[in-house]
Structure 1
Amino acid sequence: MKTRNVKMFATGDIMLGDMPACYGFGVASKILENGHDFPWQLVKQKLDDADILIGNLEAVLSEAGRNPLWLPSLYMRGSSNCIPVLNEVGFDVLSLANNHMMQHGAIAYMETVAGLTQCGIQCIGDSTTTALKCIECKGIRFGFLAFSMRPEEYKPGKQLYVLASAEEIVSEVSKYAQTVDHLVVSLHWGDEFVSTPSIQQIELAHKLIDHGASLVAGHHPHVAQGIEPYGNGLIAFSLGNFIFDMPFQRTKESMVLEVVFDKESIVSHSVLPIQINDQHQPEFVDGETAERISRDIRQYSTQSCETHQQYQLQVQSAFEAYRRSVKKNYARSIFQFNPFYLAQLLALIVLRRITNIHI
């Protein structure tokens, strides 16, 4: 039987809570004001074009452990009521392998997994279930794996999501690549806010394609990075943010990656530029804005750091730019904060500077 092509959309990071820097007026607050479908209103119609929709869920969707008197229990988490909406939007697969999924503890994590699974969304990067998740679409069998390579900051010890080394990831890809027509690998890796991957990331991505992966989709930097066709596969080093409330302009412009597959290969790929508006809603853009975002991504695709030192200088510069933007946001938004939570937030900032402890 002749198969038809399958169109897959891959999105960047999805965070349906409020960040500390936007607590009270971030994503979750906009949802509370406008309804659970609010973040998706400007993109849902286009996302419906995908045969398979995948993304990275950056925070739990659970009420477990919430304490209205303790700010760290409230930020970087969404409501469980958001889960059915993810299904309605069309998500088939979500990665949970990232450094924020255990921030609110094991119960909140497990409730998120259970809710997504009940809605028919495959959870990848979850160490409590089978590593490989599969979808058959139009006669083509797809396999999905997810791994985090970032150190856990909130809950030391064994994690419920998959935390793995480069060697372990290569081994898993080799193990499963021949069992499916196409293997998609989601990686939470790299450094925040930098527009180029490290030499080690490039080498690992090439190894994964060499060992049978068709698509490597990167997350964590919160900004878009380049796209590289390599061998028989495709590497998107970072898809940036999709839904987030970061107060930094560079994190508000990214993409949805469209990849078209036949049974044997990737037929084509394209960048669908997006911009996150002042209400924290992503929207597909066109015209000059779309061309500028696409041009930037093409430029990133030709850039690389020749040495580790050069890469670290870029990381440091990017992080300093982010910190300056956050400080300006605090000054601009100071009167939007609840004074009770603002006092806690300032105390936590001082504590983190002194101890480097994440709460």
Structure 2
Amino acid sequence: MHGDLITLCLAGDVMLGRGLDQILPHPGDPALAEAYLRDARSYVELAEAANGPIPRPADFSWPWGDALRMLDRAEPDALVLNLETSVTRSDDFAPGKGIHYRMHPANLPCLIAARPDVCVLANNHVLDFGRRGLAETLDVLAGAGLAVAGAGRDADGARQPAGVPVAGGRRILVHSFGMPSSGIPPDWAAATDRSGVDYVAEASDTAAAAVVARIREAKRPGDISVASIHWGSNWGYTVPRDQVRFAHALVDGGADVVHGHSSHHPRPLELYRDKLIAYGCGDLVNDYEGISGHGNYRDDLRPLYFASLDPDSGALRELLIAPFQARRLRLREASPEDCRWLGNVLGRISRGFAPPLASEPDGTLTHRPRIAG
């Protein structure tokens, strides 16, 4: 805890497979089953053509770049990220999928370099290499002491929240689940006798009530509950009404933060009943440099969200967003101009944030809400 506040660092999608796996010290098999490219090293070449040479092998910390300094400076109570990569040697390419992400287990120090407290796994890539790949992913992460939520060896394991202890006997509880709108196949759902992800079939009132029941069952006085959801399209700022209702129902039922992800760029923020809802945090780490087609969304800008909460009520007291830019498969501090651009976009598309995000001299974006009462 920092003073009398609990600070969460929320990251969107972290994809350490494919091209990123190839620049690390222990690259796996580069073969891909894509219509676009057949060799993962081609993604490295695209990035180099766009922005310059990339060391091979790169240090394990390379992809995180300047973000590590920000994490050291902020010292959040918990870093929660969506790990959208299988950590496996499996060659069981999931059928019917156009993209598959895997990182060689020997490259796990790259993930460890960011010191995540919780890796949420209920996404549309964690079973890219089958249930054998998921089993190895779970084993490798557990062996490194990394807490996970959202996937497991059965339904109970997939639904188990990850807990992060905080000073004063408090906990941060992270519940992770995913929806078909993000591309998760229905047969990836965990069951009593089957491994998989915590799969929520629709953003309905009934589904929200079921999630709320789990949040209430796990939550003790003094806990902060995070609902981490993989949902929605890859591109676009519009949030469907059913997702807004669903997020509101989670907050009404006891969630203190809604941590959305799946979109490749940031989506709207909302302050609802003094609680933070991030409908889509955008990608943080991937190998998309050099791929054209959606430049108007500026998916090269990669934000980290630092939410400081009242430990008793869970109300948002301050939101700090640190924008980075992907260059040479590495995060660097975004320019002041790019920070302002991102702040203007978030201010335009977001709900319940008034006044808009302020640009600080250090390049971060901040919002300090006025709490009712």
TM over 0.5: yes
Q: CA deviation at 1:209?
A: 0.5
Hey, what's the Cα distance between the residues in 2 that align with 1:156 and 1:93?
21
Identify if the C-alpha distance between structure 1 residues 40 and 27 changes in structure 2 by more than 3 Å, giving closer, same or farther.
Answer: farther
Q: CA deviation at 1:157?
A: 6.6
Q: Which residue of 2 aligns with 1:272?
A: 322
Task: Please say if 1:132 is aligned against 2:149.
Answer: no
TM-score, structure 2 as length reference? 0.72
Letter in 2 for 1:219: H
Matched residues, number: 298
Q: CA deviation at 1:51?
A: 2.7
Q: Which residue of 2 aligns with 1:172?
A: 214
Q: Deviations over 1:86-106 (max 9, x none)?
A: 223211101100011111011
Identify which range, 43-52 or 218-227, moves more after superposition. 43-52
Q: Which residue of 2 aligns with 1:227?
A: 269
Hey, what's the Cα distance between the residues in 1 that align with 2:255 and 2:237?
23
SS of match in other structure, 1:239? coil
Q: Write the mapping of 1:58-73 to structure 2, written as runs, cut at 5 A.
A: 58-65=84-91
Q: CA deviation at 1:138?
A: 2.2
Task: Please say if 1:143 is aligned against 2:160.
Answer: no
SS of match in other structure, 1:34? coil
State the identity %. 22
Q: Write the mapping of 1:73-222 to structure 2, written as runs, cut at 5 A.
A: 75-128=100-153, 129=157, 131-139=160-168, 140-150=170-180, 151-153=183-185, 158=190, 160-165=196-201, 166=203, 167=207, 168-178=210-220, 181-222=223-264
Hey, what's the Cα distance between the residues in 1 that align with 2:238 and 2:115?
30
Q: Is the 8 A contact 1:4 1:138 kept in 2?
A: no
Q: Which residue of 2 aligns with 1:13?
A: 13
Q: Is the 8 A contact 1:66 1:74 kept in 2?
A: no
RMSD over equivalenced CA pairs, Å:
2.9
Letter in 2 for 1:86: L
SS of match in other structure, 1:86? helix
Q: Is the 8 A contact 2:189 2:199 kept in 1?
A: no
Unaligned 5+ runs, structure 2: 20-33, 48-53, 353-373
Hey, what's the Cα distance between the residues in 2 that align with 1:180 and 1:110?
34
TM-score, structure 1 as length reference? 0.75
Hey, what's the Cα distance between the residues in 2 that align with 1:6 and 1:259?
8
Task: Please say if 1:260 is aligned against 2:308.
Answer: yes
Q: Which residue of 2 aligns with 1:239?
A: 281
Q: CA deviation at 1:54?
A: 1.0
Unaligned 5+ runs, structure 1: 304-359
Identify which range, 26-35 or 110-119, moves more after superposition. 26-35
Identify if the C-alpha distance between structure 1 residues 267 and 190 changes in structure 2 by more than 3 Å, giving closer, same or farther.
Answer: same
Q: Is the 8 A contact 1:257 1:272 kept in 2?
A: yes
